[in-house]
Amino acid sequence: MEKLDKQDVYEKAVSIARYYGFVSVAETLATAENIGKKKAHIPAPKEGLPGEANRPGLMKALVEYQIANPTTPIMVYHSEPLRKSMHREEYGGKDAVLFALEIIGVSKSIAEALLFKTTTIIMQELGFDDLMVEINSLGDRESITRFSREFTNYYKKHTEEVPTHCQSNLRKDIFKVLECAQDKCMLFKDRAPKPISTLTENSREHFTEVLEFLESMELPFSINNCLVGGKDYYTRTIFEISTAETVNKLSPKKKFDPILARGGRYDDLAKKLGSKRDIPAVGITITLGGLGIIPPKKELAKKIKKPKIYLIHLGFEAKIKSLAALEVLRKGKVAIYQSLSKDRLSVQIAIAENMKVPFMLIIGQKEALEGTAILRNMHNRSQETVPVSRLPQFIKDLEKEVI
């Protein structure tokens, strides 16, 4: 694999993120300004603060946009400053940043799936192998209340066994108890109630779907019951992506932190920022284990080929197969629009017709089972079923004849 410099790393991450539907924060807010909405102001991030500390300012701006455009999910990429604990020289120097992805306005599990897919493709193309996911679910507020009650009662019944520092943390924040990594605490926690055991039905269904997406991507995962991050910030899914390797193909002489990315859902943040209603949101911060991400001084607007195909999906299985089909098309350098966050067929067709694309690519339950897709000509309504593996070449041949 050809070695990339630090700015190439950033540009590679951006190009993959854009293919999967993410745009820059600046583009999103400029869209708001162009349609007559007041442009939201994003406060400058404070030096050295963790990504979560900077996210509220960004989220406040994006929440304002989402409220003005409630039917339009937001998918953005942006950079974050290094955390205080990160040594700049190890991450590429004073100009190094972290790379983050956010999806706002999508409550369904497809949002987590898009983050996992986009992030792991970025990592793989930057030379990271043997990826794995540690994941947990805190559930919704009702789930967290249930867990807090059961966990606290369990510890109170076994007060004599609980280490002193955990007794103190239990009174302040039970999630601090969960995060404690001392051997005695770990042994005791193994017998304590787990967050996933108190999930509400809706939260359990959501978490099950997220795990199904991970299985479909053949991305190894394990449930870490102590992965919490903080009950005042995260709800539902929380995760880390790591690698079993300590070296990277791009920089074989350098050792890496095995944790490459962290993220989760923060569905309650909008209300804490002043919104009158809940706005679902999920994000991930990509560290690349310290490889070093340096954005260019000025991000040049590259001419992007306008897609002439819109992907339509029908059903949960079709969503799973659509993610795989998107990667086949990306590798084949075929541009395509998609709205995997939408479920209703009529909505997807309306979007495609609004965009005036000449072709629709349709994956339903039958196609999902057969590993195929239907390519429909929007002008004469003719269509042909094509194996997903053959789609890039088939579309390129079609472009020569028709488009």
pLDDT tens-digit series, residues 258-279 = 889 999 998 877 777 777 777 8
- Residue 385 · residue 373 · CB < 8 Å: yes
pLDDT in tens, 221-244: 999 988 887 656 778 899 999 988
DSSP state of 97: B
**From CA 394, how far away is CA 392, in angstroms rounded?**
6
Q: How confident is the model at residue 50 (pLDDT cuts 50, 70, 90)?
A: very low
**From CA 226, how far away is CA 186, in angstroms rounded?**
9
Q: How confident is the model at residue 52 (pLDDT cuts 50, 70, 90)?
A: very low
Predicted pLDDT of residue 301: 55
240, two tokens? 């880390």
Average pLDDT over residues 126-133: 88
pTM above 0.75, yes or no: yes
Following DSSP, what letter does each residue of 98-142 receive, concatenated? EEEEEEES--STHHHHHHHHHHHHHHHHTT--SEEEEEEE--SHH
Q: List Cβ neighbours of 355 (8 Å cut-off, separation of 6 or more).
A: 310, 337
The Cα angle at residue 318 between residues 316 and 322, in degrees rounded to 5: 120
Predicted pLDDT of residue 363: 94
Question: Within 13 Å and on the Cβ side, how many CA atoms surround 144?
Answer: 19
Predicted pLDDT of residue 304: 62
Predicted pLDDT of residue 257: 78
CATH code matching the domain that covers 6-139+200-290, chosen among 1.10.260.40, 3.30.930.10, 3.40.50.720, 3.40.50.1970: 3.30.930.10
191 pLDDT above the threshold of 70: yes
- For residue 99, what are the β-bridge partners? 79, 286
254, two tokens? 């350098």
Average pLDDT over residues 279-293: 83
**From CA 331, how far away is CA 190, in angstroms rounded?**
44
Q: What is the CA radius of gyration of the chain?
A: 22
Predicted pLDDT of residue 39: 46
Predicted pLDDT of residue 310: 92
Which single residue is written with the structure tokens 């070296």? 247
Average pLDDT over residues 173-194: 73
**From CA 205, how far away is CA 167, in angstroms rounded?**
33
Which residue, 141, 107, 135, is CA-closest to 231? Answer: 141
Predicted pLDDT of residue 258: 84
The Cα angle at residue 41 between residues 36 and 44, in degrees rounded to 5: 155
132 pLDDT above the threshold of 70: yes
388 against 27, higher pLDDT: 388
Predicted pLDDT of residue 187: 66
Predicted pLDDT of residue 68: 66
Predicted pLDDT of residue 38: 47
- Residue 228 · residue 178 · CB < 8 Å: yes
26 pLDDT above the threshold of 80: no
37 pLDDT above the threshold of 60: no
118 pLDDT above the threshold of 90: yes
**From CA 18, how far away is CA 347, in angstroms rounded?**
22
306 pLDDT above the threshold of 60: yes
pLDDT in tens, 215-226: 999 999 999 988
Predicted pLDDT of residue 325: 93
How far CA 386 is from CA of 35, 324, 371, 374, in Å, comes to 39, 15, 9, 6
Task: Say how many residues make up the chain.
Answer: 403
252 pLDDT above the threshold of 80: no
Average pLDDT over residues 98-127: 91
Where are the chain's structural domains?
6-139+200-290, 141-186, 309-401
Mean of the per-residue pLDDT values of the chain? 80
- 309-401: CATH topology is Rossmann fold (3.40.50)
Axis-axis angle for helices 110-125, 6-19 (nearest 10): 150
